[in-house]
Amino acid sequence: MASITTNTIDLSQSWGVQFGDYTMGDDKVDFQDLMVKISENRAMAVEKEVAPLTTRIKTRNKELEVLGSLLSKFSAFQAKFSSDSKGSDTATISGITDEEKWLCWKAYRKQGGTKDTFPTDLGWYNTSWSKSQGDGMVSALKSMIDERNNAAQTDMTRLQSLVDRRDESYSTATNLMSAVSDTRSNTISNM
């Protein structure tokens, strides 16, 4: 942010008014230019907060997409079992992509699974799972989706707050510049 100083010149004896010359860095500016610069700085500060938040929202949306795909695959996996299947019955699940592996592992851990109990007989992403493991994965995936949706709502509220702050800074600057312009017009018309 540029350094801003005020040098007040007393012209009250000659004109009956006082005014200030403002400097930003080495440039002399009038009040309107000063207000524009301040509003630009406020807007840039808000934008610096918006950028990482936007990145986080995009990352979370991608995770939600992957979790939705995994949930769909495990729901289809559950359909392989009849209603009278035992929890220990197994079926093969396939089609889990490299992109889905990490979130699949996180969901497995979320339901209390460990490295030792993780199905690895055919490569864990293309393997036989028990009915109970599939049920646990569906539950864990739904929980992870809910957590990310809740965090997304919080981030969207924060983003809306930042946008409101940015709009407020522009509105304040516009109102101030309008008031200064009106004051200048009135002063000139009274001369």
73 falls within a domain = yes
Report yes or no on 183 lying in a domain: no
Judge contact between 187 and 17, C-beta under 8 A.
yes
Asked if the structure places residue 154 within a domain, the reply is yes
- Residues 77 and 89: beta-carbon distance below 8 Å: no
Q: E-strand spans in the chain?
A: 4-11, 17-24, 27-29, 90-93, 127-130
∠ CA 92-97-101 to the nearest 5 degrees?
Answer: 85
Domain count for the chain, please give it: 1
Is the residue at 84 inside a domain? Answer: yes
The answer to whether position 88 is within a domain reads yes
What is the domain extent for residue 71?
Answer: 44-169
What phi and psi, each to the nearest 5 degrees, are found at residue 52?
Answer: -65, -30
Instruction: Going residue by residue through the chain, which has 191 residues, state the pLDDT in tens, using 9 for 90 and above.
Output: 455 544 544 444 444 444 456 676 777 766 667 777 777 788 788 888 888 998 999 999 999 999 999 999 999 988 888 877 776 778 888 788 878 888 888 888 888 777 766 665 434 555 677 888 888 889 999 999 999 999 999 999 998 998 888 888 778 777 777 777 777 777 777 76
Is residue 191 assigned to a domain?
no
> pTM of the full predicted structure?
0.65
The answer to the question of residue 176 being in a domain is: no
Rg (CA), the chain: 31
